[in-house]
Structure 1
Amino acid sequence: MGRKVAWGVLSTAKIGTAKVIPAMQQGAATVIAAIASRDLASAQAAATQLGIPKAYGSYEELLADPAIEAIYNPLPNHLHVPWTLKALAAGKHVLCEKPIGLTAEEAGALIAARDASGKHVAEAFMVRFHPQWRRAREIVRSGEIGEVRAIQTAFSYFNADPNNVRNQADIGGGGLLDIGCYAVATARYIFGAEPERAAALVDFDPAFGTDRLTSGLLAFPGGRQVTFTCSTQLVSYQRVQIFGTKGRLEVEIPFNAPPGYGCSIGIDSGKDHFGSGIRRETVEACDQYTLQGDAFSRIILGDEAQEFGIEDAIANMRALDALARSGKSGGFERV
């Protein structure tokens, strides 16, 4: 067994303690060596619960630990760029939760910081490491469903808790940054291109000021189009439909794929409207957070090249910025 990369986690955020940390602890190239909180007792409780050797009562202490090579940053959206910059300055590699920042302009500072530090930094879009998305892209590129011209995505959940960070507009809450970003990232992944124009219809929560319902349209080169709806106040649901000239591909659980579950992809020839032309492929059961963590660890170890760098994250933010502008202007915006 080869060497494992020693990771530290900034904060006891639920996404980390409930999903990402336990998954990364199963990795072949990853070890969670420390966790930090602004409250030492909170860090110690999380460390005890998860079997993490070190607990720190401040983020600065964690960044000062010379044994920590990489940082996982699951802080609220407005703290993604500031603490990623501090981690890079401390000589750590950084895997930062999505969205990489509040705007592309803010996130742009990470390029110079990465170059100055010589460390790797990436946005944590775990879905791109799941074999169902790798297989979906493979099918698209094979030409089996013809020329792919349209993608439709739906992603929603219901959360009306005023104390939840997703419902706090001043720190980057709202549906577009929280889950609409997945619709953009996976479309770019499938098309292998960047959108040129964007339009959005947005409904803002009157109490929170956050976008609780957004429908977006992205125009890609060659007449290809992406439509999506995301919401923080609708029934829990997610699905992606990829339409080609000869067939259709459906990703059943595209984003929150359950760990250990063999996800299903449907490939429809379009024979009829009753589904007799659909064949289903079940991909290997896995935990996409484990795969993401190990992929980044292998990059740090020099065992593989980085596929999705900070430039990719900023490109995703440019599309999100254009959608946000359109939601206010009411017209198409250039990406």
Structure 2
Amino acid sequence: MKPVVWGVLSTARIGIQHVIPAMRASPLVELRAIASRSLSAAEEAARSLGIAQAYGSYEELLADPAIEAIYNPLPNHLHVPLTLQAAAAGKHVLCEKPVALSAAEAELLRAASRRVHIEEAFMVRHHPQWLRARELVRAGRIGKPQAVQVFFSYFNDDPGNIRNQPGIGGGALFDIGCYAVLAGRYLFECEPLRAVSLVDRDPQLGTDRLTSALLDFGSGRQVAFTVSTQSARFQRVQVVGTRGRIELFIPFNAVRGGEMRLAVDDGGQLDGSGTIVETLPACDQYRLQVEAFSRRVRDAAGPQPDGLDDAVAQARVIDALWLSERTGRWEPVA
């Protein structure tokens, strides 16, 4: 396959530390350029990461005719505006999560998604541990899947950090709660019907620092999750069915290039002595993500609606959780 020529919007940490190294390691990617509103910052990143071209504005990068695909890791409130600009320039866009701050905003990308590929960057969907967990669920290994439980937390109370600025999409639900929502949608392979949330906001920052939620997927299937930006660093996913349980130990921040493990428990012993631990192949989930997107770019079938459809469905769940915070009630996911 001819490598896809990529450009990166901004020197965001997730790009510098995770996605760009993954791009540099892939034979399917030619990383041509990086842009920042500060030319010096772009030049420094380009030098340190071996990127040929640095631009001092996003518009300059988008005007580069050699660039075919864009990675957009900008602050959340800029995801849709810059994705629209990129699409207008004929670039395909892999956009960091959340793709938008509401389902209505995500729908603004609908027309563009018919011309170029647009996808929300949930790298976990490409990791072997997630693929294996869904394979086990589909095969009936744990019986009928009934409940997914997710806990995901870290501690960051820096007011200067974009994750702690509510006006631009900061807070626990947008930053990491989206992974918990995705976990249910991915493993149950359907959409929730209704949602309820309990939110604790930082009195100074205004962001949700501790958010818990229940999602009702119907037919006796539920997701329960807690996410926090001001708790000890921890993450787990449990999938419980009528005849067993699956546990992902490091579900979201999988070690790049390291082997990961998941546990399958038949529930026979409360001490877990009946648990079988599987080891999954070493990989870089960010590399798998950019390679999958690059293949879509080269697909002769052209842009498909499923990428945006999935992002809109994801945003509808988060919309319902925000509404539930205000009403204190179950809210439909519509």
Residue 42 of structure 2 is matched in structure 1 by: 43
**Alignment counterpart, residue 292 of structure 1, candidates 275, 289, 292:** 289
Amino acid at match of 1:243: V
Output the CA distance in 1 between the equivalents of 2:268 and 2:31: 50
**Alignment counterpart, residue 321 of structure 1, candidates 319, 322, 329:** 319
Output the CA distance in 2 between the equivalents of 1:154 and 1:26: 31
8 A contact 2:113–2:305 mirrored in 1: no
Output the CA distance in 2 between the equivalents of 1:25 and 1:34: 12
Amino acid at match of 2:110: I
State yes or no: 1:331 paired with 2:333.
no
State yes or no: 1:276 paired with 2:273.
yes
**Alignment counterpart, residue 198 of structure 1, candidates 195, 199, 212:** 195
Partner secondary structure for residue 25 of structure 1: helix
Output the CA distance in 1 between the equivalents of 2:251 and 2:280: 12
Summarize the alignment of residues 154-233 of structure 1 with structure 2, pairs less than 5 Å apart.
154-233=151-230
Structure 1-normalised TM-score?
0.97
Output the CA distance in 1 between the equivalents of 2:243 and 2:113: 43
**Alignment counterpart, residue 138 of structure 1, candidates 135, 139, 151:** 135
Output the CA distance in 2 between the equivalents of 1:308 and 1:96: 15
Q: CA deviation at 1:308?
A: 5.2
8 A contact 1:218–1:226 mirrored in 2: yes
Count of aligned pairs? 332
Q: CA deviation at 1:112?
A: 1.3
Q: CA deviation at 1:18?
A: 1.1
Distance 1:35-1:59 versus aligned 2 partners, 3 A rule: same
Partner secondary structure for residue 262 of structure 1: strand
Partner secondary structure for residue 146 of structure 1: coil
8 A contact 1:128–1:186 mirrored in 2: no
- Once the two structures are superposed, residues 194-231 of structure 1 have per-residue CA deviations (whole angstroms, 9 ceiling, x without a partner) of 00000000000000100000000000021210000000
Residue 21 of structure 2 is matched in structure 1 by: 22
- Once the two structures are superposed, residues 302-332 of structure 1 have per-residue CA deviations (whole angstroms, 9 ceiling, x without a partner) of 1799695111011000001101111121110
State yes or no: 1:242 paired with 2:239.
yes
Output the CA distance in 2 between the equivalents of 1:304 and 1:163: 44
8 A contact 1:196–1:219 mirrored in 2: yes
Output the CA distance in 2 between the equivalents of 1:132 and 1:53: 34
Partner secondary structure for residue 289 of structure 1: helix
Could you tell me which runs of 5 or more consecutive residues in structure 1 were left unpaired when the two chains were aligned: none
More moved, 271-280 vs 22-31: 22-31
Summarize the alignment of residues 117-132 of structure 1 with structure 2, pairs less than 5 Å apart.
118-132=115-129
Structure 2-normalised TM-score?
0.98
Output the CA distance in 1 between the equivalents of 2:265 and 2:34: 46
Residue 73 of structure 2 is matched in structure 1 by: 74
Q: CA deviation at 1:31?
A: 1.7
Output the CA distance in 1 between the equivalents of 2:183 and 2:96: 16
Distance 1:290-1:166 versus aligned 2 partners, 3 A rule: same
Residue 108 of structure 1 is matched in structure 2 by: 107
Residue 94 of structure 2 is matched in structure 1 by: 95
- Once the two structures are superposed, residues 15-70 of structure 1 have per-residue CA deviations (whole angstroms, 9 ceiling, x without a partner) of 10111101121113112110000011100000000000000000000000000000
Partner secondary structure for residue 273 of structure 1: coil
8 A contact 1:298–1:304 mirrored in 2: no
Residue 261 of structure 1 is matched in structure 2 by: 258
